[in-house]
């Protein structure tokens, strides 16, 4: 692969913004300086005049090929990574979800196989979906031998992925011994189950009852419970897809008390709300995702929490299902609609447009929440998430003027619908470089030189 010298661009890290040249050699960032001499005669020059240079983004929360009764989520690791690249995401963290009773390590090997066609580097959070005699030892092996530094638990999805309080406490008690992190989907599974069954019995079967069966309290109560468990087990936790204003308040209080509680939200909780359900038709099944969409006032609280540093990352929870053939399995029963929506492709352009350009967050905060903090919290900072000499040359050359209207008709995601349909964006990648190779240029993906590798993670940096 040739060396690349990027000239005339503005480098943006989580800490500063500065005009420098950047040299890429052998897949790594080799030099950053005011003026750099081309390393050899075949060095290719990229003129980045008028562009920003960001570190490649890391999506810490995606579900490629997630099994559901309606079939697997519609992006596999290949199509999902293509969509990721088009939007500037150059690494992802997906999940290993063992069957009940299945060895975590055996499930990990299977998942690694499924991810072999991923074009970008990938890691996994391990989900202890059950607990048995071997579990503590398997967690230790995941951490020590497999570079897995985070363990995903579900307080919702009762009887499927969810674990009860006793098991959650056991997971926390084990994980904290190795300075790893427990990530938690916080929703009260029992109450949600009760409300879902009640609505169905009453003949309330349409998608909007999805939101009504998951009120804010179902999240906030679980957030509070998880934080109390974390306090007494002394296990650091990361709460995924925080959506409710009440949850933010509880998280802020814990952080003020110096508890190691981290939080993620997703673009859909910042940009969409329950007003989409004002009509009542089945198309709305595309917005059936969990936790449910909230109100405008929750969105405002989430933006403030990002600005104030109470929410550290924005993941997409990318989990698309087609309306035709998948979401429509729940046409006569909203509880049968597979939960989730796609988002990996537009995370950056949406946050740049509706966060940076509206002054809700600074451009450095933008880089922090999509790249640097995910790298630090999930043990990838030794390779990724920043613009520093020696790190992988995962680089976005960002055109701040490029405008687009999001549509399922021309997106790269493999899905017949898009929850951001019609959203206007300003700013998108001109080039995406992955480990020194051009992966995206002029709207086109260059697959030839791309091969995602399994990410061994180490040493989470657990600070706000």
CB of 187: closest distance to Zn ion in angstroms? Answer: 8
For Zn ion, the closer CB: 292 or 367: 292
Q: What angle do CA 320, 322, 326 make, to 5 degrees?
A: 110
CB of 272: closest distance to ligand URP in angstroms? Answer: 13
Cβ count within 10 A of residue 442: 6
Does the footprint of ligand URP cover residue 415 (CB under 6 A)? Answer: no
x-or-dash pattern for ligand URP, window 6-45, by CB under 6 A?
----------------------------------------
CB of 289: closest distance to ligand URP in angstroms? Answer: 4
Q: 458 near 147, Cβ under 8 Å?
A: yes
- Partner whose footprint covers residue 252, from ligand URP, Zn ion, none (CB < 5 to 8 Å by kind): none
CB of 413: closest distance to Zn ion in angstroms? Answer: 16
Within 246-265, which residues bind ligand URP (CB under 6 A)?
Answer: none
For Zn ion, the closer CB: 185 or 294: 185
Does the footprint of ligand URP cover residue 319 (CB under 6 A)? Answer: yes
CB of 187: closest distance to ligand URP in angstroms? Answer: 8
- Partner whose footprint covers residue 340, from Zn ion, ligand URP, none (CB < 5 to 8 Å by kind): ligand URP
**SS in 3 state form for the chain?**
CCCEEEECCEEECCCCEEECEEEEECCEEEEEECCCCCCCCCCEEEECCCCEEEECEEECCECCCCCCCCCCCCCCHHHHHHHHHHHCEEEEEEEECCCCCCCHHHHHHHHHHHHHHCCCEEEEEECCCCCCCCHHHHHHHHHHHHCCCEEEEECCCCCCCCCCHHHHHHHHHHHHHHCCEEEEECCCHHHHHHHHHHHHHCCCCCCHHHHHCCCHHHHHHHHHHHHHHHHHHCCCEEECCCCCHHHHHHHHHHHHCCCCEEEEECHHHHHCCHHHHCCCCHHHHHHCCCCCCCCHHHHHHHHHHHHCCCCCEECCCECCCCCCCCHHHHCCCHHHCCCCECCCCCHHHHHHHHHHCCCCCCHHHHHHHHHHHHHHHCCCCCCCCCCCCCCECCEEEEEEEEEEECCCCCCCCCCCCCCCCCCEEEEEEEEEEECCEEEEECCEECCCCCCCCECCCCCCCCCC
Place of tokens 């059936």: 288
Q: 354 near 63, Cβ under 8 Å?
A: no
For ligand URP, the closer CB: 115 or 289: 289
For Zn ion, the closer CB: 339 or 349: 339
- Partner whose footprint covers residue 339, from ligand URP, Zn ion, none (CB < 5 to 8 Å by kind): ligand URP
CB of 394: closest distance to ligand URP in angstroms? Answer: 25
- Partner whose footprint covers residue 345, from Zn ion, ligand URP, none (CB < 5 to 8 Å by kind): none
Does the footprint of ligand URP cover residue 339 (CB under 6 A)? Answer: yes
Question: Which residue in 30, 125, 158, 185 binds ligand URP (CB under 6 A)?
Answer: 185
Q: What angle do CA 391, 396, 402 make, to 5 degrees?
A: 170
Rounded (10°) angle between helices 135-146 and 165-175: 40
Question: Please, what is the end-to-end C-alpha distance for the chain in angstroms?
Answer: 38
- Partner whose footprint covers residue 289, from ligand URP, Zn ion, none (CB < 5 to 8 Å by kind): ligand URP
For ligand URP, the closer CB: 285 or 438: 285
Question: What is the CB-side half-sphere exposure of residue 393 using CA atoms within 13 A?
Answer: 26
For Zn ion, the closer CB: 187 or 273: 187
Question: Which residue in 218, 290, 353, 372 binds ligand URP (CB under 6 A)?
Answer: 290
Q: Total number of residues binding Zn ion (CB under 5 A)?
A: 2
CB of 199: closest distance to ligand URP in angstroms? Answer: 18
Within 293-352, which residues bind Zn ion (CB under 5 A)?
Answer: 317
Q: 6 near 46, Cβ under 8 Å?
A: yes
CB of 319: closest distance to Zn ion in angstroms? Answer: 6
Q: Total number of residues binding ligand URP (CB under 6 A)?
A: 8
Question: Which residue in 221, 317, 368, 392 binds ligand URP (CB under 6 A)?
Answer: 317
Within 118-157, which residues bind ligand URP (CB under 6 A)?
Answer: none
Question: Which residue in 63, 208, 214, 286 binds ligand URP (CB under 6 A)?
Answer: 63
For ligand URP, the closer CB: 4 or 378: 378
For ligand URP, the closer CB: 132 or 325: 325
x-or-dash pattern for Zn ion, window 181-220, by CB under 5 A?
----x-----------------------------------
- Interface residues toward ligand URP, by CB under 6 A: 63, 185, 289-290, 317, 319, 339-340
List interacting residues with Zn ion (CB under 5 A): 185, 317
């Amino acid at each position: 692969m040739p060396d690349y010298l990027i000239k005339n661009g503005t480098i943006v890290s989580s800490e500063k913004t500065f005009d420098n040249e950047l040299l890429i050699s052998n897949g790594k960032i080799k030099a950053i300086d005011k003026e750099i001499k081309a390393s050899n005669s075949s060095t290719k020059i990229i003129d980045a005049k008028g562009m920003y240079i960001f570190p490649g983004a890391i999506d810490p929360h995606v579900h490629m090929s997630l099994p559901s009764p309606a079939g697997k989520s519609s992006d596999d690791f290949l199509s999902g990574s293509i969509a990721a690249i088009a939007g500037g995401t150059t690494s992802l963290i997906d999940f290993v979800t063992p069957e009940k009773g299945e060895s975590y390590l055996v499930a990990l090997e299977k998942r690694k196989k499924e991810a072999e066609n991923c074009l970008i580097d990938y890691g996994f959070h391990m989900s202890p979906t059950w607990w048995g005699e071997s579990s503590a030892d398997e967690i230790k092996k995941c951490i020590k031998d497999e570079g897995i530094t985070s363990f995903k638990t579900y307080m919702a999805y009762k009887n499927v992925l969810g674990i009860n309080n006793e098991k959650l406490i056991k997971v926390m008690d084990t994980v904290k011994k190795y300075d790893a992190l427990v990530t938690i989907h916080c929703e009260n599974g029992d109450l949600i189950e009760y409300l879902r069954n009640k609505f169905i019995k009453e003949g309330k079967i349409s998608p909007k009852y999805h939101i009504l069966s998951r009120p804010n309290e179902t999240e906030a109560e679980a957030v509070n419970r998880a934080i109390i468990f974390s306090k007494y087990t002394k296990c650091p936790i990361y709460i995924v897809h925080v959506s409710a204003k009440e949850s933010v308040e509880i998280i802020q209080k814990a952080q003020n008390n110096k508890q190691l509680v981290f939080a993620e939200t997703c673009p859909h909780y910042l940009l969409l709300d329950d007003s989409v359900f004002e009509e009542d038709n089945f198309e709305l099944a595309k917005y059936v995702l969990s936790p449910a969409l909230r109100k405008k006032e929750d969105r405002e609280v989430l933006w403030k929490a990002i600005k104030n540093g109470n929410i550290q990352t924005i993941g997409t929870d990318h989990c698309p299902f087609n309306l035709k053939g998948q979401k429509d399995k729940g046409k006569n029963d909203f509880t049968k609609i597979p939960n989730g929506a796609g988002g990996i492709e537009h995370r950056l352009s949406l946050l740049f447009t509706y966060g940076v350009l509206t002054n809700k967050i600074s451009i450095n905060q933008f880089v922090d929440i999509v790249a640097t903090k995910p790298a630090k919290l999930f043990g990838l900072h030794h390779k990724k998430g920043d613009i520093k000499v020696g790190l992988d040359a995962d680089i976005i050359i960002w055109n701040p003027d490029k405008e687009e209207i999001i549509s399922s008709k021309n997106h790269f995601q493999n899905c017949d619908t898009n929850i951001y349909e019609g959203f206007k964006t300003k700013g998108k990648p001109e080039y995406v470089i992955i480990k020194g190779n051009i992966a995206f240029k002029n709207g086109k993906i260059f697959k030839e030189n791309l091969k995602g590798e399994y990410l061994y993670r180490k040493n989470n940096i657990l600070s706000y």
